[in-house]
Structures are given as structure tokens and as C-alpha cells.
Amino acid sequence: MDFQEIWGQEQVVQYLRSSLEKERLAPSLILHGPEGVGKTFLALLLARNLICARGNGQACGNCSGCRKIDPPNSHHPDLRRIHPTGREIRIQQIRDLVREIQVRPLEGRRKVFLIEPADRLTTEASNALLKTLEEPPSRGAILLITPNYHSLLPTVRSRCQALRLQPLAADLVARFLITAQNLPEADAELIASITEGRIARAATFDFPRFHKRRKRLLNLLADLQGRRYGAAVLRNAEQMANSAEDLVEELDTLLLLFRDIARLVYSPGEAPIANRDLREELLKLAERFSHRAYQMVERIEETRRDLQKNVNRYLATQVLLFDLAGAGHAGDPGSGPLRRRVALPGHP
Ligand SMILES: [Zn+2]
């Protein structure tokens, strides 16, 4: 296995290949780019190239060391992966790194430290890392992985070589799913468009689960149109807000639907949409929500942001669902709530 398993990042891969060949790769690297484009996978392949004791700047792919770093289950004594404990990567974890990187590698050519996500480094931890980033021992390497390049301290950024991974064109992701995962073409194209070119997300996408959730949300939108929408709001808000993690997924899917609905409002004929298989159904919703579909996209985004600020997720979901009911009824006075809102602090 080699960098050829990396899809659609030609520039980055070419840079890595040639610097490994010339043995001139910067020892401290930042791999950044949106969530789900394959940063971790690339970092592990790179670690393999750095660690393999048989290859000459390139992993042989066959030795026991190489096999131990086969993504995604990579366990090698010279590969250390540092993740947050709790919400942060703490100074003690970095002090351990600073000490361990000085020790000779046990089996490989180099000792590699993966810090992920590096934007969780506390300021103290970042500061403790600076000297080692600048001058790591010749047999050490540090790879920082993050979706938020600019949330790293400038002093960290200036000591590393940064490589940015891009989202892929949807047709490339679809081709990957067809060839590497044997998916049927229609499913592959749909997943590619839903995951917006983030190949790592596409590779682990739980399609049946997504299907089920999307179907339930469409049923919910139908229920919100009925006369008993109030009961539907309460019941669904409770279900959706049951766990914080699920709620984020629910809102992401709802957002995906409403972005499509909003696109279809203004160009029902040819607008490219993510949920391609639902075009007919979404066109009907576009008629129902009309220009208010855009407001709903904003409301869903706003709710997602609110949730990060620790608002009561049940109440926040309830308010959002009442708004959706109101927006869907607006052209149909007499049957709906007409933007009636529940009273909630911060939501006058
Ligand atoms: Zn090897």
C-alpha cells in the first residue's frame, strides 16, 4: 500500500513523495482541511513511510512494521497518537511527547507523533511544544492534524510546514465508492453528493441509517402540516433531542433537506441538489415553504450554533419545530400556527 491509495490529493502526495525521496521532508507538519477529507489516513500512510526500516524513504509495505501501521488500526511502538483527554490536549501529554521523542525508535527508522485534533492543544501545551517543533531530534517527526488551521497558535504554525487537503469532486468520490467499496452506481452518486466531496466521510457513511433518518424527517414535515401539529412538535422534539450527538445528526440531515428545498424554490427545473433521489418530493416541499425555505435554512443553522452554547436542547428543538410548522403553514391561514412561538429566554 502506498500513497496511490490517496484519492484526489495529487499536489500534496507529489510533494510528500518527492520530499521523502530526497529525505528533505520537514520534520514538523500540519495536515489541515475540512472534516472528513482523509487527513488521518494520509497521516498514517506518511507515518508508515517514515517508520519503515526496510524502505528507503518509502514504505516497503511488507515488513512487520508496515503491517502494524495498516490504517485504520495502527499500532506500532514507534507511532504515538495523541488525542484530547476530555476536551483538551493538556500540557502533561506534551511534556511526555517532548521526553519520549528524545528516545531512540524501538523498531523503525523514526519515531512519529500524531497530534489530533491539534486545535485542542491548550495554550500551555502549545507553548511547551514549540521548541521541539522547531528542532525535533533527527529521528523524530511530529504531525499535527486539524480542520481549523487558523485556530492553531501563530507560533505553532510558523514552525511547521502546512499541507492542505481539499474536498474532492463528487464524481471522483463516487468512482472511489464504486471501485474501492463495490457500491452500486446510484448509491455511490448519492453518497458522494451528500458528503460533499469528503472522501473519508463517504467511506464510512452509514447509508441505511441516513435513509431511515431522512424518511423520518420527511414524515415529520408532513405531520407538521396537519391540524395536530402541536402534538407532533412535542413528540418529535423529545425524540430528536434525546441525545446531543443524535440531535446534531438530525439537524445536519434536516439542513441537507432544506438547502435542497431552498435551491428548488428558485430553479425548480435544473438546480443541482444533494438528495437527488427525492427531487419530486422536495419540489412539493419547495412549493409549500416557498421563499421561507431560506429562513428555515438559517433557523436550522442558528439552532446548531445555539446547541454548542449549551442551550436546553429540548426547548431549542421545540422552538425550531414550531417555526418549521409556522413556515409550512404560512400560505394556508386558518389551519396553522402562523409563526406562533413558545416563550423562551433568548428567543423573544
Ligand atoms: Zn516496511
* The three cell numbers locating residue 115: 497530534
Q: Report CA(61)–ligand 1 centroid distance (Å).
A: 5
Q: Report CA(67)–ligand 1 centroid distance (Å).
A: 7
Q: Report CA(77)–ligand 1 centroid distance (Å).
A: 14
Contact criterion met (CB below 8 Å) for 55 and 45: no
For 253-305, the DSSP string reads HHHHHHHHHHHHHH-TTT---S-GGGHHHHHHHHHHHTTHHHHHHHHHHHHHH
Q: Would you call 42 exposed, middle or buried from its count of C-beta atoms within 10 A (0-12, 13-18, 19+)?
A: buried
SS (H, E, C) 173-212: HHHHHHHHHCCCHHHHHHHHHHCCCCHHHHHCCCHHHHHH
Note the pLDDT of residue 336. 45
Q: Report CA(62)–ligand 1 centroid distance (Å).
A: 5
Q: Report CA(107)–ligand 1 centroid distance (Å).
A: 11
For residue 29, the SS3 value is strand
* The three cell numbers locating residue 88: 483538551
Q: Would you call 318 exposed, middle or buried from its count of C-beta atoms within 10 A (0-12, 13-18, 19+)?
A: buried
Considering only residues 273 and 127, tell me which one the structure prediction assigns the higher pLDDT: 127
Give, rounded to a whole angstrom, the gap between the first and last alpha carbons of the chain. Answer: 58
Give tens-digit pLDDT for 205-231: 999 999 999 999 999 999 998 888 999
- Tell me the average pLDDT across 9-38: 91
Note the pLDDT of residue 332. 53
Q: Report CA(161)–ligand 1 centroid distance (Å).
A: 25
Confidence bin at 333 (pLDDT 50/70/90):
very low
Q: Which H or E run includes 123? A: helix 123-134
Give tens-digit pLDDT for 273-317: 889 889 999 999 999 999 999 999 999 999 999 988 888 999 999
- Tell me the average pLDDT across 77-96: 96
Q: Report CA(148)–ligand 1 centroid distance (Å).
A: 32
Orientation angle between helical segments 229-240 and 207-223, nearest 10 degrees: 150
Give tens-digit pLDDT for 227-249: 889 999 999 999 999 998 889 99
Please tell me the distance from the alpha carbon of residue 132 to that of residue 94, in angstroms, as a whole number: 10
C-alpha neighbours within 13 Å on the C-beta side of residue 106: 7
User: What pTM was computed for the model?
Assistant: 0.76
Contact criterion met (CB below 8 Å) for 27 and 159: no
Which residues does 23 contact at the CB level (< 8 Å), separation at least 6?
Answer: 57
As a whole number, the mean pLDDT across the chain is 89
Q: Would you call 137 exposed, middle or buried from its count of C-beta atoms within 10 A (0-12, 13-18, 19+)?
A: middle
CA nearest to 69, candidates 101, 39, 44: 44
Return the DSSP state at 150.
Answer: G
Note the pLDDT of residue 5. 77
Q: Report CA(58)–ligand 1 centroid distance (Å).
A: 8
Percent of the chain with pLDDT over 70: 94
Note the pLDDT of residue 179. 92
Q: Report CA(66)–ligand 1 centroid distance (Å).
A: 4
Confidence bin at 331 (pLDDT 50/70/90):
low
Q: Report CA(239)–ligand 1 centroid distance (Å).
A: 50
Q: Report CA(68)–ligand 1 centroid distance (Å).
A: 9
Note the pLDDT of residue 213. 95
As beta bridge partners, residue 140 has: 111
pLDDT at 348 over 60: no
**Of the candidate ranges 16-30, 121-135, 169-183, 267-281, the one whose mean pLDDT is the lowest:** 267-281
C-alpha neighbours within 13 Å on the C-beta side of residue 85: 7
